[in-house]
Amino acid sequence: MGWSTWWHFKVMRRCVVMEEQVNQEKRSVRYSLVIPVYNSETIVGETVDRIVAFFEAQGWDYELILVNDGSNDCSWDVLRAKALDNPHLLAINLLRNYGQHSAILCGLQNSTGDYVITLDDDLQNPPEEMMRLINKAHEGHDLVFGRFHEKKHSWHRRAGSLLIGKLNERLFDKPKTLVVSNFRILRRDVVDRICSYRTGYPYVSGLALMFSANPSNTWVAHQERAAGKSQYDFIKLAQLVMRILFNYSSYPLHLVSFVGLAISGCSLLLGLYYLGKGLAGGVSVPGWVSLVLLLLFLNGIIILILSMLGEYTVRILNQTSSTESYQVREIVGRPV
């Protein structure tokens, strides 16, 4: 046997041993799947079936946690029936609609797996693509986001994602090359840190970035929504941006403080100008229009600043009075 052949054989053997160790690790850990559900009665049943089929085919230990976020269709009936039929499923019915991130946090707090995967209820994240997340996580990453080859979202959803990505860079130190999505896998220690963070306004992606040490991306497929339409409209995107800004940063306060300081400086200069003009005897009675316009402008700025302070005050009050961002109405099933 030549030297090169021997070396090639040794490398191949090492690769086989490492692959077997990784496969053994995959079989020895428990996976939790968390799916927030909202008005998806026509598609969530198929989503559940494909996830179950994936894990049953692999022979891995898993639990599937379905969180009904106050749906006003028959989604809960579907989830309840699935949970009663499969001991690996846990269905949680929230009291009302609290938002996607509160529903995900509920699922994280009820999970027991060594790894937790979050995905949507509409099959835009094909369950079979979870293998890519799992493989990447077992390379040593404590947080892996699925990066889509091509997003099938609407234009306003893509624009909102771009804005939120910029906020993640500023507020949560997201690397510029890292792409955040709701299709992700988190190691247990990251999940525990997120669950221990007390807030009435959870933003799971930001918290995951805060509490992970080695985040990464892996390429995954993204499909058109199989049924229904996206619940993330312009209003919900705006609410999410406000949640990030007002609960995880002081940028709005800094902005209005800067604007107020600039206006105060301009007002001082304008006052000095008119004072000099008055001392020089150049005062004329006409000018009430400019005076009224100036007062309206300054009063508008004052109202804006007070509104901003009021928004912070209300959120601080809500957060100190109750750190629970959701209330549970009913739980069905107990994962094995």
DSSP annotation string for 305-324: HHHHHHHHHHHHHHHHH---
User: Please, are residues 32 and 62 in contact by the beta-carbon 8 Å criterion?
Assistant: yes
Highest mean pLDDT among 34-38, 200-204, 320-324: 34-38
For residues 187 and 144, the answer to whether their CB atoms sit within 8 Å is no
CA 108, CA 37: separation in Å to the nearest integer? 14
DSSP 39: S
Displacement of CA 207 from its chain's centroid (Å): 8
Q: What pLDDT is recorded for position 17?
A: 46
Q: What is the pLDDT of residue 140?
A: 94
Contact 61/31 with Cβ under 8 angstroms? yes
- DSSP-H helix ranges across the chain: 3-28, 44-58, 75-85, 100-109, 130-137, 155-172, 188-196, 204-210, 234-248, 251-279, 288-321
Cα 206 to Cα 165: distance, rounded to the nearest angstrom: 10
Per-range mean pLDDT, top range of 15-19, 148-152, 154-158: 148-152
Contact criterion met (CB below 8 Å) for 40 and 121: yes
**220-269 pLDDT per residue, tens:** 998 876 665 666 667 777 888 888 887 787 777 777 767 766 776 676 66
Q: pLDDT band at 320, cuts 50/70/90?
A: low
Average pLDDT over every residue of 40-49: 95
pTM comes to 0.79
pLDDT of res. 113: 96
Q: Rg (Cα) of the chain, in Å, rounded?
A: 27
- pLDDT tens per residue across span 108-144: 999 999 999 999 999 989 999 999 999 999 999 999 9
- Nearest-angstrom CA–CA distance, 24 and 19: 9
